[in-house]
Chains A and B, each alone.
Chain A
């Protein structure tokens, strides 16, 4: 079975995000970029499925400018076999991405498609669900566990009330949550090997998809700053303040 993993290049999660002074967007100039953490978990899970013998090949795809080849190489160093970069804008909209992925699914015929549940830049949390709709296959979002037997996938999802377990008939789409696994570090020999793994470049046009975002960014502002209050010296003072000043406890 072939696995398809979609990955995104995003601002590194350790970098403090700053809004540009003209408030048109956040400032990404000279900022460290990385593989989106949820995508990294998806790559790790795919590689583990291959190591277990459940899957035979792991294909990673990213949509963006040439720069995202760096993240594809990271995924290859983690153990993916082959990569495709679909040349496009750096922040394509989710529906266009889902349409591109759906076209790649049609050509590559994977048994399972893994995506991160959301990217830590746009925080949309929608591409996986959209892809599942477009290819008319079942979805398991926000998963913390998966098991595959034959053409059946059992997934545990992290939901607001606790955990939910679903059984899906493959092919299917899953989106990963934080606790699914802890991604490995790529070893130096694997990083070297990754440079020789196949990485194909194609354009959205070649796939017959035109990227057209009908949701436009008008402006970006920093969140309202919350200023620090006061330090209290004792529990007694704290309880007194909560009762008399804030009036939030009886």
Chain B
């Protein structure tokens, strides 16, 4: 087996999710090359070189790759994939944007959101919003797959010293331009990588009331998430949405506050190790998946919880 992984990073730091993708590649086995495409991102390549299991780092440093535009990165990945058996990326919005374009350039279908590797060409993936798990077998000449990070335990980020190879080919589409980015600034951990997640739903009732959740989160070193209802109501921005159409999280502890537990929300958090639900409606479906349920008015319970931790 020979595997190419597209690293996810912000030109400075490797995103932890790539460590989970490398873990998935280790299950497949074989040589693992990791492509770092970006601008002034040599330090990312150096971080990747230290990661457990990496055989080789490919570094493509160009302004064309600064914003991870699929039009520029996909042909680079497809070129580097020549003769390989697998091409992997994280099932993040970046990976999901780029990798199908790579698959089409290679003339194959992609296997999306892989949860488990059964063999080199047999994989498990969630379908129907996580309401069914499919086992699929790929007869494609090269298996192009996005990996769900929460399904694989990250490999160690240190201890290795893989060779770094510079790539000089530059792909640049004239038909697309990056204009701007509005990324949430936060000192809290990233939602998909946090060990503790505190999430609020419609029951939180306003953007101001989310402050209560932020205070709890800061005491626990947690990230803050939200249900689709809270996002649609405008309490919090879309990047905080946990669920099938938002982010998939699997922290050690997930605290659902004022969240009823719609199927699409559960699909995004039910792999959490411990789930706590605080909701005044004792019939709320969230209690059917919660390890610890507290039927209470969140406006009383949450401040009390904050004091007690």
Among the listed B109, B173, B182, which residue makes an inter-chain contact with A213, where contact means beta carbons less than 8 Å apart?
B109
The segment from B39-47, B50-58, B91-99 that touches chain A is B91-99
B237 touches A162 (CB 8 A): yes
B61 in the interface (beta carbon within 8 A): no
Residues of the B chain whose Cβ atoms lie less than 8 Å from the Cβ of A167: 176-177, 179
A130 touches B100 (CB 8 A): yes
A206 in the interface (beta carbon within 8 A): no
B130 touches A223 (CB 8 A): yes
Residues of the B chain whose Cβ atoms lie less than 8 Å from the Cβ of A172: 175
Of residues 209 to 230 in A, which have CB atoms within 8 Å of B's CB atoms? 213-223, 226, 228-230
B138 touches A130 (CB 8 A): no
A220/B239 contact (C-beta < 8 A), A133-B104, A142-B93 known: no
A241 to chain B: closest residue by CB: B292
B1 in the interface (beta carbon within 8 A): no
Residues of the B chain whose Cβ atoms lie less than 8 Å from the Cβ of A139: 70-71, 97, 101
Residues of the B chain whose Cβ atoms lie less than 8 Å from the Cβ of A229: 275, 290-293
B127 touches A132 (CB 8 A): no
Of residues 110 to 130 in A, which have CB atoms within 8 Å of B's CB atoms? 120-130
A163 touches B290 (CB 8 A): no
The segment from A49-57, A92-100, A191-199 that touches chain B is A92-100
Q: Is the interface of B mostly helix, strand, loop or mixed?
A: mixed
A179 in the interface (beta carbon within 8 A): yes
The segment from B20-28, B154-162, B300-308 that touches chain A is B300-308
A26 in the interface (beta carbon within 8 A): yes
Among the listed A121, A214, A248, which residue makes an inter-chain contact with B139, where contact means beta carbons less than 8 Å apart?
A214
Of residues 192 to 233 in B, which have CB atoms within 8 Å of A's CB atoms? 192, 196, 220, 228, 232
Q: Is the interface of A mostly helix, strand, loop or mixed?
A: mixed
B97 to chain A: closest residue by CB: A141
Q: Which of B104, B105, B129, B291 has the most CB of A within 10 A?
A: B104
A214 touches B109 (CB 8 A): yes
Q: Which of B103, B113, B237, B295 has the most CB of A within 10 A?
A: B103
CA distance in complex: A95, B309 (Å): 52
A168 touches B176 (CB 8 A): yes
B256 in the interface (beta carbon within 8 A): no
Residues of the B chain whose Cβ atoms lie less than 8 Å from the Cβ of A178: 228, 245
CA distance in complex: A27, B192 (Å): 32
Residues of the B chain whose Cβ atoms lie less than 8 Å from the Cβ of A234: 294
Of residues 50 to 95 in B, which have CB atoms within 8 Å of A's CB atoms? 67, 69-71, 74, 92-94
CA distance in complex: A137, B105 (Å): 12
Q: How many residues of B contact A (CB 8 A)?
A: 88
Chain A: minimal CB distance from B199 (Å): 15
CA distance in complex: A194, B160 (Å): 63
Q: How many residues of A contact B (CB 8 A)?
A: 76
Residues of the B chain whose Cβ atoms lie less than 8 Å from the Cβ of A95: 103-104, 107-109
B131 touches A17 (CB 8 A): yes
A129 touches B133 (CB 8 A): no
CA distance in complex: A98, B288 (Å): 40
A129 touches B104 (CB 8 A): yes
A129 to chain B: closest residue by CB: B100
B134 in the interface (beta carbon within 8 A): yes
B131 touches A161 (CB 8 A): no
A137 touches B175 (CB 8 A): yes
A160 touches B247 (CB 8 A): yes
CA distance in complex: A170, B113 (Å): 30
Residues of the A chain whose Cβ atoms lie less than 8 Å from the Cβ of B137: 215-216, 218
B165 in the interface (beta carbon within 8 A): no
Among the listed B111, B270, B301, which residue makes an inter-chain contact with A226, where contact means beta carbons less than 8 Å apart?
B270
Chain A: minimal CB distance from B271 (Å): 9
Residues of the B chain whose Cβ atoms lie less than 8 Å from the Cβ of A233: 294
B100 touches A126 (CB 8 A): yes
A223 touches B111 (CB 8 A): no
Among the listed A93, A121, A134, A241, which residue makes an inter-chain contact with B128, where contact means beta carbons less than 8 Å apart?
A121
Enumerate the 3 nearest inter-chain pairs by beta-carbon distance, A residue then B residue, closest first: A126-B100, A229-B291, A129-B100
Known interface pairs A126-B109, A144-B238, A216-B139; 8 further A-B residue pairs with C-beta atoms within 8 A, sorted by A's residue number: A130-B103, A139-B71, A159-B93, A159-B239, A162-B181, A168-B177, A246-B253, A246-B291
- 19 residue pairs of the A-B complex, CB under 8 angstroms, read A16-B131, A95-B103, A95-B104, A95-B109, A126-B96, A126-B112, A129-B99, A162-B182, A162-B237, A162-B238, A165-B178, A178-B228, A214-B109, A218-B134, A222-B133, A223-B132, A231-B282, A248-B273, A249-B220
